[in-house]
Amino acid sequence: MNTAPVIGIHDLAVATGSRVLDLADLAYATGVEPAKFHKGLGQDQMSVPAPDEDIVTMGAAAAAPILERHGTAGIRTVLFATETGVDQSKAAGVFVHRLLGLPSSCRVVELKQACYGGTAALQMAMGIVARDPRERVLIITSDVARYGIDTAAEPTQGAGAVAMLVAADPDLLEIPGPTGVWTADIDDFWRPNDSDVAMVEGKLSIDAYLDAFTGAWDDYRAQGGVDVGEIDRFCHHQPFTRMAEKAHRRLAEHTGVDLPLETFLPSTFYNRRIGNSYTASLFFALAAVLDADDDLAGARVGLFSYGSGAVGEFFTGIVRPGYREVMRRERTEQMLDARVPVSVADYRALHRGVPRDTTNDITVDAVSAGPFHFAGIVGRARRYTRD
């Protein structure tokens, strides 16, 4: 009798912008009490890309260690999830495909549905591997969260990427069925084609997020999902970490079960220092949970993904034995500590300096320490280099 293969996340790695702004500095510069950011939003720092960094360079930097550990054999699909795409036609993953030296026998697709796109990529990857367990799928989630200067959302900005390798018999996280989904047409957050910053209806977005969470949870249970008491740790999408805390409290109220904050707080460790990374946010939370001190082998982790507009999904993963054999915490903390601090004036100059006009050729110098660089625009096409 044939049995379905166990499928899930085989490896995971992260990257972020090479600059960092301390939110206390932003608070003082804007006449706000720092506690409003540190406690009210649950954010301490904001990753900022250098001029030669974008979703492509961060995505390649996140994926490179995975390929160093596992090679390219069996990777016939790359799914690049982002809501800050660099081209309206060409997938950002095609640039990464060349930078990483992936084989030509590979499909590359970009996925978009606000911050939910990474979870859509994960579900698609699971289906591809279920069809042929010999295949492995490389997922890249990469985004730069940008809002207008002096807006309420400005301190929640950030930048980062998480890459994942999905395979049969995974080393990190088995992802069993079922899953719960929820969708409604809501104008809570969007970015028109003629704008390089997002439009946000703050209160509406919070309400939509919470409605999506309970709706996805109810569907998860209706599809046969486990009781909330059987879930050991929780990861929620984090536009700011206090938003995820609100979601955790809402789930406790909705289910009538006490859910200690200790089952959720480890997931905020990286996001507090990076800021919002849209499609990558949920998977930074997962990385933080897997990097925490507790031995979670065999534990069940609940994951809630939300993308404004709006789509929500709840699913769980079971931590695999031996998941700690490749320790990622030291590398990630070194990466975060190595970011170059910038002043508020420098950050705002970087914010304003992102190229918007492609009609003129430009050259961008390699100023970041990473191996991948946005080199400029030639003939209205983007150019990237690798050291």
In sequence order, the β-bridge partners of residue 23 are none
How many residues comprise the chain?
A: 387
* Residue tagged active-site, from 97, 236, 237, 248: 237
Question: 115 catalytic, yes or no?
Answer: yes
* Residue tagged active-site, from 10, 53, 115, 236: 115
Q: Which DSSP helix (H) or strand (E) runs through 290?
A: helix 281-291
- Would strands 311-319 and 180-183 be described as parallel, antiparallel, or unpaired? antiparallel
Helix (H, G, I), strand (E, B) or coil at 329: helix
Residue 256: CB partners within 8 Å, gap ≥ 6? none
Label residue 86 exposed, middle or buried (CB < 10 Å: 0-12, 13-18, 19+): middle
Residue 122's nearest CA partner among 369, 307, 262, 324 is 307
Helix (H, G, I), strand (E, B) or coil at 357: coil
Helix (H, G, I), strand (E, B) or coil at 91: coil
Residue 167's nearest CA partner among 141, 132, 140 is 132
| Beta carbons of 369 and 385 less than 8 angstroms apart | no
Strand order in the sheet with 372-378: 362-363, 372-378, 381-386
Query: How far apart, in Å, do the first and last CA atoms of the chain sit?
Result: 51
Question: 237 catalytic, yes or no?
Answer: yes
**Residues identified as active-site:** 83, 115, 237
